[in-house]
Every structure is written in structure tokens, then in C-alpha cells.
Structure 1
């Protein structure tokens, strides 16, 4: 280039030197894309695969190229797939049209093609098969004119019209049996595959009865054994059935002697304790128990209920799911004193009389039995053929021979214990009766049922005087009367204890509600301290909860058992003693 620039003409003019310069271009090429690294602190970015925007992203930032390494093993075809096997497009079709075509396809076998982006021969959306606009059975679509499930079509063109069943001939009225026998309006269809039931003859019935009797005898012979003396030994089922029958009850005394050196039984109130067991209950100030001081273990299965002996409370009565009832000593050695055996199934409820000399037991074997507390003898058995869920004596002193039982047949049955007869029935409930509680100086009683209602009755009058049923009410399988006799604490199945008045109005006290525990459908019976300051209840996890009666605050929760705690009974003369029973088969005494 320098030679060209320095090249001169051939003329003899003065030689002028030419200086050559090269201009530098101002355009620069940058191969790195602008990915927005300069403002990472305030920049907003979205994932490349995102289909929705949750924030407002500027257009410039949204259109920036994707930066970062790519997966070399990713199939490029997966970029267009939104399901595992391919790509599904969303179609703009209403729910009503979709359901119409779906039901049309299920009924007739064809439907309109809902695909977008193409038109059929009639100009409608969706090309369909061979431009017809339909998918599925094209012959049926052409025959029926492409109707939908909601269009009316001629009766002759309806599918399965020719498949109508035809009845068989009625037969001849004079023919009783055999061919052409009279069937009348009971004649079947020609293509009916079921055979008519033939009446058995007398010979066949007699043979079948003999066969059944023979089978029973063989089964009885197979399930019985012979003793050395040649007598037939009963099986376990026969023993249980025999025990359920009245008159086969028995009692076992577990102590060394039933009488002491003065000829007194365990019914005598001990005088060598530091507590006045004959004083008035509730006069002492009560406190919440803190530790377990004794455990009674004797039931083979769970314990469903416990009751202290009225007035003195020096004995404890327990009902077990092992069909047994036991009496325990609360003071001295706290031993097992007596076991009553007489029920064939689990015992659900027990109730003492006012003096504690007798008690009732209700069992799933459909019997209510009256027992003598001192001797353990069964005095009388009562049964209506239904399962008694709850039982209680009339608290009046002159009516200690009357008791009420709530049964599974929705009735409350009133018995006379002296005669064994039913004297009254209360049958207004719509479900099994769970509890019976006497209130208002024993002139009335309150019942709760599985029908989620509470009803108040006048004693000996089978008419409801108060009907309580609210939409938010649940079944209340356990009820306890406050020591002041003014309130009822009801364990509701929505995991709370609700309170109702026990006077004339029987209204719910909305200000008192005790919650926090989980009963999970169990009939956990609430308990009150003798002075009425505390209310307690077990739960399904084996815990015991204690609330303050006035403030409804949770005061204490402690682990008492391994399974559900069914009962918490406060000792009426002690300041802080409580007995609890559970389905783990244990009874614990707390102080």
C-alpha cells in the first residue's frame, strides 16, 4: 500500500508526498448475550418452563435469553410435552357441552368432534372422521341424524327397541302342574334364565328336618367330652350360657375371713383412719391429685365403671369387660375382697342403692341383676330382651325398690325390684338411651340418647316435659350431676363437656364449656371434686384432665393409663384423692 501511495506521475511537476492513513471503525462486536447480571439485586426472573406469572415482570426482562448450562442428556422432544406420553391441548368447551357429548357417546356410541383448528363439511368446528364432524360409530350417527342425548328421536329409531322381553304364556287355569300349567301374572320371560322355585313336598320337608336334627346331635356329640364318672362335661360356650341363666350366679370371697373378731364384715365403716368417713361430703377444701399411691389389678380385661360405696366410701365397686364385678378395699391393705360372677358378657354399668347394701349391674348379656353387697348373692335378675346401657335407683328413701334402665330399644324401663315386674315405660327417644340422671329433688329425671337429644321427664309419667335438640348438638353418652345439684356436666362427642341447668328450665350454660381433651367417641364419665371446685375427665389417650369449675381453665393434665380412661371418681371425704379406671384393666388411686 505504501508503494501505491508513493507512486508519482511522469510529469516534471514538483513531487508532492502523499500520506496514507487508516480510519478505525466505531462498531464493536460482543458475542456475550445481555442476561441481566448487572442488576441481580433488583431483577425479576421467571423459569423458562413457567406458564403463569405471579408477579409483574417487565417485558425486557421477560424476553431476555435463557442463560445457564443445558442438560446434555435431555431429549429435545420433551420440551413440547406436557404429559408423559405427549402434548395435550386445552379446548375452549363449556362444561355443559362436554357432559352432553360424553353422555351421548356413552348412550349412542358417537359424539361431535370437539377439536379446534379445522372445520367439517357442514362448516362446524371439528373435522371428525372423514369430514363428518363426528367420532365413534358413524353409522349410528348417520342413522339417528347426529342427535344428542337430550334430543327426541322417533320411537322406531331408538336403540335396543327390538330387544323387548316377551312374557311366557299364562297357561291353562285348569292345569295345576306340568306342561301348560297355569302361571297367571307370575309368568316369567321367554329368555329368563332363572328357574321358578318349586314348593317342597311334605316328604322332602320331613327329610330335611330329620337331617337338621341329626346334624345338631352330631355337633353336640363332637363338642362335648365325657368325664371319668361317665357324665358329660360342658363346653366353654355352654358354661357361659348356663351362667347367664338366673340362679347360676356365684360369689368368691378373697380374704382370710368374712368376719373380724367382733363379727363385723367389710361393710363396717373403719374407725381407725384419720378421716371422718361418716361426716358430710364436700365440707373439706379439695386439691388436685399429683401422684399414684396404689394400683388395683384384678380384671382380665378393661374396666368400664367404678363406684365408691355411698356415704363412707371405704369400698370401691368395679365392673369389668371380663364379665365380673369386684369389690376392693380402699383403706388398710387395699385388697380385693369379693368377686361376683354371673354375667355372660361385659358389664356396662353399675349403681349402688342409697345405703350401699345392694347394687345393680347392667350387662351386654341383656340382663340387669340385683346383688347383695355384703354376701355377694344375686337377689334377682331382670330382662326385657334388650341390652341395658344404663341403670340407676330412684334416690328417694321410700322408693329404693324402684330402678330405671335405659335400653337399646330406645326405651327407659321402670322396674320394681321387689316383684320383678315392669311398672312403667318411657318410649319417646329415637335412639338407644345412654344415661339417666335424677334432678329437681328426684321429682324429674334427665335422659340422653344416641338420637342427639336430651329429654326431661316427670317421674312415673311417660310424657316428655322438656325436649332439647339443637343443630349443633352431639350425642352425650356420659352425664354427671354437680355436688350442688344445680348443674349437669355432659360429655359431648365433639370433645367438650357442656353444662345444662338441673332446675326447671334445663337450659344450656353457654359460659361454661370445658374443652381440650380428645375422647374419640368413648363414654368418658366426668367427675367432680366433693366441694365442686374442680371437674375432671379422662380421654382416649389415657390422660386425666382437670378444669376449674368457675373459670373453665385447664389446671392440670397427667398421664394416668395406657388406654382410654373411662371414669374419674373423687373420694367424697378426702381432700385430694381420686380413683380412675381404664380399658387397660387397671384401677389407680391418686393423691
Structure 2
């Protein structure tokens, strides 16, 4: 008994963590059939959070306490994961959430933009005793007149709505992309209702023309931009003679081909061998803002016709005094193209004011006016003598229009292009014509047949704004905007001649004219840097390249009777004569 009692005494006393603890002092846990889960198991925060039941759970895996069952539900602010656009932390401080509806804000913003006033969001207009100055911001007088109504509650009268509708432009046709009838829809602008009629609207102001001494004191015609959009812009045509004498000692005008020269101007062009010019022999002042086209008098070349970006067409003398002979004024915008008749007594001019006008070369009188309502890019008379009463116009609305000079009516329309038409060239003894367009394709047409007989397109092909026919009539050279001049056949097989490609000039972004020498030996064109370029037709090698203008060279033309005389013009407004 003494040994057992001593063993019990040793079991009751022990050392735990360096301290004497009596086993009798420890509490005795009651015995149950289901053991109690110790609360020490939930000391770990992560483990306790994982045991929180979900709302959708129907079975609980442990015995929660009453406090756990009755505590409020805690979860994310956006349980569905929706992102909020509210900026909490800003550089200026903490942005508090405001109870302001987006629809109300839009209404008040429209009210301020349209009516000139809106409610002040920092005040409460429902409080009694609040003044109007505190309720509204902006035009307070208009707010009092409209009794503080917003844009949704302010209704205009029928008269005001009718006047407002008349001020707005027409919405246009949804199928038209460019021009007067182009679709505007909700972007239609409002115009001033106090616009005078086009007849009363034209005003003429005289100003000094600083281009040349011959044009000193010339009157300029200006048309206001508020002219009616229903009809193309136009102004009264007039002309002015600048030469020293209108008639010679025999009563002949400048239309007479001179015979007192060292060169015969009546022979057929191309009979003599041509050479590349080397020096500049004369400079005409030209036009303001640049020259757009140059045309020698047909067959003889004793006169030079030029059109400019100042809306004028001018006639120059190539021999004797080399003076400015006559100015033709009737366009309000840039004259894009000009074209002589075969006899040279009449010529056409097409401008960006949507007007095409037929002029008398000798008297300067405007004979006829034509218009399609769209901007014309190129014009061309039918070269056959029996068809000189008809001409073609390539417009910006993808069409080629055929006009009759005598009646002024449209004879035929060619409308298969997908972009603005840039050039028209008659080929195959004038029975057919080729057209180029911004759709980067070439189409060949039969005269008066609205079905193209040939379609030339390639994925690597670029737009070709200018085209020239070789004197032998078998090839055409097209200036491509990828800094190349391509050659195509002009007979029955309209195919590209891939062996003839002319390179060396930079023309990207400019409609630079391309031209052949009268004998067809040389091909010439311009450069965006103001250079004149000459290639050999057979070898496609560049023979000469010299600086001709300070700005881009856009026009170049070879004299039909001289062996080496070439005229150039560019965006600097000057016309240089080379030999």
C-alpha cells in the first residue's frame, strides 16, 4: 500500500514547462455520447472563414453557435463581379458618391447648350424662399421667360418650327456620297435665313492683280459662300484683252498663224526629229496659286492656253513679243482641265464650281454652259471632225457624261466606275476611249455604248490620274501614283506592257501630266520636287532630269512643230519655256 501510494503521489506531481503543476487542479471534462467540438479549433482565421456556411447550403458540416448563425451576412460589394466606373481615389481628394441621375444630367446639359441656362446642381430648387439666381445658372432672363422649363418641356410654336426647318439643309440622298445631293442626315447644317437671291448676292470688287503688269487694274469677281446650294456656283463671264494690238496691219487677229518665222507651223506634227531641251528661254508670270493645265494651239502651236487655280484661263503668245493676249474669267474655283477643238477657235473649261463652259478663243465670249451638278475632273472633245459637236466629261461621282454642244443635253452616261474619273483618252482611231479612275482600274468603252469592253485591274495597281497617247496610236502611258509610268496597249489587246516601265520621278500625291514628244522618241513628265524628267521611249532609260520649278511640276507639254521646245508649269504659278 505504501508503494502504491507513493506512485500516486509521483503521478499527481510533475513539472510542465519548468513549473510545478498539480494534476488535481486540472478540470475534469464530462463524458458524452457525442464528443463536443473544441472551440480551439477555430482559432485559425482562415479555417474559421472556410467553415462559414453559404446561403445556398442545405447541410452544415459542423455545429455552429448561435452567434455564428445570427451574425449578418458579409460579402463583396459587387457579388456578380460587375465593375464600377466611379473613381474613388482622385488626385484632388476622395470623390464622394452623389445621388444624381445620368438622364437628368444629360437633359440639363442639353438645356444649357440650347437654351443658355440650366438648374444649379448645388442648390435645391424645391426649398421655399430660394431665389431664381440661386436656382439657375446662365441666361437668367431667358430662364424667367421660359419659367425655368428644361429642353424637354420647352416646345416651339409651329411658326418657329417651320422657320427652323427652312433654315436647315436637305438631308440628301442616302445613295450619293459626294456633291450637292450627298447624304447629310442628322449632320445637315443650319444656314442663315436672311440670304439674298443668287442674282442679288453677286458682288464685284475691284482689286490690283499683282501677277503681271499686263493685268494691272483688272477687276476680280467674288461670290459669297452663302449662295444657294440648289444650283451650281457661277458668276458672270467676262474677258479682257491684254495684248498691244488686237489687229495687225492686215486686220488679222492673233488667231492667224504667223508665217514670218524660221519654222513652218503648217506642216504635220512629228515629221522632224526631236531633242531634249537644255535651257530656259522665257518665263511667263502665269497664275496665282499654281497652274493646273497647259494646251498648245492644235497642230500649229503659236498660242498657249493655260488654266490656273485662281479660276482663270489665259492665252499666251509663243512668238514675237510672247505677251499675255487674253484672260477668260467666269469660274469661281480652280479650273481643272481645258480642251481645244480641232480648229482651235473654241475651247472648253471645267472647274471645281461644277461648271463647264465653252469659250470663243478669239472674242472671249462664253458660248454655252454645261453642268452635271458634280465637280468635273477632265473633259475631252471627240477628235473626229464630224463629231466635234460632242464631248465627254469625267466627274467626281464616278460617271462619264457625254454632252451635245448644240442642244446642251446629255446624250449618254457611262457609269461603271467605282471612283472619281480622272482621265479620258481616245484610242483605236477614236472609235473607243480609255478612262482611269480612283478605283485604281482602267476601262475601255465603245463610243456611245454604256458597257465597258475591257476592264484592267491588278491588286498592285495604283491610281493613274493622267494618261498620254503615243503619236503612233498603239500605246498609252499612264502616270501611276506609285512613282512609275506604266504602258498599256491601245489597240484590240488592251494589256499592260510589263517590259516598259519608267521610273525615276516622284509623283505620289500629285496629278502630274505625262507627255510624248511629237515624234514619239521621248517620254516626259514632272516631279514633285520641281524637276522635269525625260526618258527614251525604246530603252526606258532616263536621259535628262533638271530643276525646272521651285515647287511641284504639274504640267508639261511639247510644242507640236518645234524640235526641242517644251513648256512647263507648276504650283509656283510660273510658266517656263525651254529649248
TM-score under structure 1 length normalisation = 0.64
Aligned twin of 2:346: 358
Query: Does residue 364 of structure 2 align to residue 442 of structure 1?
Result: no
Indicate how the Cα distance of structure 1 residues 331 and 464 shifts in structure 2: closer, same or farther if over 3 A, else same: same
- Counterpart among 158, 161, 165 of residue 205 in structure 1: 161
Q: Deviations over 1:208-259 (max 9, x none)?
A: 5899999654999xx99999xxxxxx99434996998667100100113311
Query: Does residue 551 of structure 2 align to residue 566 of structure 1?
Result: no
- Counterpart among 514, 518, 535 of residue 547 in structure 1: 535
Query: Does residue 318 of structure 2 align to residue 337 of structure 1?
Result: no
Q: Which runs of 5+ in 1 are unaligned?
A: 1-129, 133-141, 144-155, 164-189, 228-233
Q: Is the 8 A contact 1:541 1:562 kept in 2?
A: yes
- Counterpart among 476, 480, 489 of residue 468 in structure 2: 480
C-alpha distance in 1 between matches for 2:340 and 2:46: 89
C-alpha distance in 2 between matches for 1:541 and 1:438: 30
Q: Is the 8 A contact 2:305 2:314 kept in 1?
A: yes
Q: 1:483 Cα shift?
A: 0.7
Query: Does residue 243 of structure 2 align to residue 237 of structure 1?
Result: no
Query: Does residue 447 of structure 2 align to residue 459 of structure 1?
Result: yes
Q: Is the 8 A contact 1:241 1:344 kept in 2?
A: no
- Counterpart among 79, 82, 92 of residue 160 in structure 1: 82
C-alpha distance in 1 between matches for 2:158 and 2:418: 45
Q: 1:158 Cα shift?
A: 2.8
Aligned twin of 1:45: none
Aligned twin of 1:66: none
Query: Does residue 429 of structure 2 align to residue 469 of structure 1?
Result: no
Indicate how the Cα distance of structure 1 residues 326 and 215 shifts in structure 2: closer, same or farther if over 3 A, else same: closer
Indicate how the Cα distance of structure 1 residues 314 and 217 shifts in structure 2: closer, same or farther if over 3 A, else same: same
Aligned twin of 1:490: 478
Indicate how the Cα distance of structure 1 residues 581 and 204 shifts in structure 2: closer, same or farther if over 3 A, else same: closer
Q: Which runs of 5+ in 2 are unaligned?
A: 1-44, 48-53, 56-77, 86-100, 108-150, 169-189, 206-219
Aligned twin of 2:244: 256
Query: Does residue 348 of structure 2 align to residue 348 of structure 1?
Result: no
- Counterpart among 394, 419, 424 of residue 407 in structure 2: 419
Q: Deviations over 1:458-494 (max 9, x none)?
A: 0100001000110110000000001111110000000
TM-score under structure 2 length normalisation = 0.65
Q: Is the 8 A contact 1:244 1:344 kept in 2?
A: no
Q: 1:313 Cα shift?
A: 0.6
- How many corresponding residue pairs? 409
Query: Does residue 224 of structure 2 align to residue 268 of structure 1?
Result: no
1:24-423 mapped onto 2 (5 Å cutoff): 158-160=80-82, 192-193=103-104, 194-195=106-107, 200-205=156-161, 216-217=193-194, 236-238=222-224, 248-423=236-411
C-alpha distance in 1 between matches for 2:204 and 2:379: 41
Q: Is the 8 A contact 2:316 2:323 kept in 1?
A: yes
Q: 1:162 Cα shift?
A: 12
Q: Indicate the RMSD between aligned Cα atoms, in angstroms.
A: 3.5
Q: Is the 8 A contact 2:237 2:329 kept in 1?
A: yes
Indicate how the Cα distance of structure 1 residues 477 and 201 shifts in structure 2: closer, same or farther if over 3 A, else same: same
Q: Is the 8 A contact 1:244 1:343 kept in 2?
A: no
Q: Is the 8 A contact 2:232 2:354 kept in 1?
A: no
Q: Is the 8 A contact 2:234 2:331 kept in 1?
A: no
C-alpha distance in 2 between matches for 1:465 and 1:336: 44
Q: 1:263 Cα shift?
A: 1.1
